[in-house]
Amino acid sequence: MQCPSCQNTDSRVLESRAADSGRSVRRRRECLNCEFRFTTYERVETVPITVVKRNGSREIFSRSKLLHGLNRACEKTGLDASRLESMVEELELQLQQRSGREVSSAEIGELVLAQLKVMSEVAYIRFASVYRQFRGISDFISTLETMNRDETHLAAVG
């Protein structure tokens, strides 16, 4: 690591600790030439995930965009923002671990819906109405009936 003061490349690490919720390492260093102290951050470099939209266009996965949509769907449902944040973090990790770098927006939507179904039925319906582009009351009724059938089936099996 190059010293910002004298540009010498020899330094020693004084202290290391996790930063950014464990996604990076913060290191305090000291230059062996001029004794200048400085901080560096080390993180794993990830290849960006490309989202293929319904219309065929492509864009880089944006966790903030997904989190914004989830926050809108979960307004006044009692779901904690930190729970939504960790849900998005898990989803992003799941996408990073795939061999392919492209994922369809439909696939992301279904992954989100599977999580929301367990967390909050109201948030599930709200998110589904935007994601699946509900056109009217019949779309809501159809989704609610499917949810009801799934719950009845689970109760009968369990």
State pLDDT tens for residues 109-125: 999 999 988 888 888 88
Q: pTM of the predicted model, to two decimals?
A: 0.64
DSSP string, 39-70: EEEEE---PPPEEE-TTS-EEE--HHHHHHHH
pLDDT level of residue 148 (50, 70, 90 thresholds) = confident
Q: How far apart are CA 24 and CA 1, in angstroms?
A: 16
In the predicted structure, residue 157 carries a pLDDT above the cut 70: no
pLDDT at 131: 82
Residues recorded for the chain? 158
- For residue range 73-83, what is the model confidence (pLDDT) as tens digits? 888 888 888 88
CA 66 to chain centre: 7
- For residue range 55-92, what is the model confidence (pLDDT) as tens digits? 999 999 998 999 998 998 888 888 888 889 889 988 98
pLDDT at 77: 85
- For residue range 9-47, what is the model confidence (pLDDT) as tens digits? 999 999 999 987 777 899 999 999 999 999 999 987 777
Structure tokens at 136: 């009217």
DSSP string, 83-130: HHHHHHHHHHHHHHTSS-SEEEHHHHHHHHHHHHHHH-HHHHHHHHHH
What percent of the chain clears pLDDT 70, i.e. is strictly above it?
A: 96
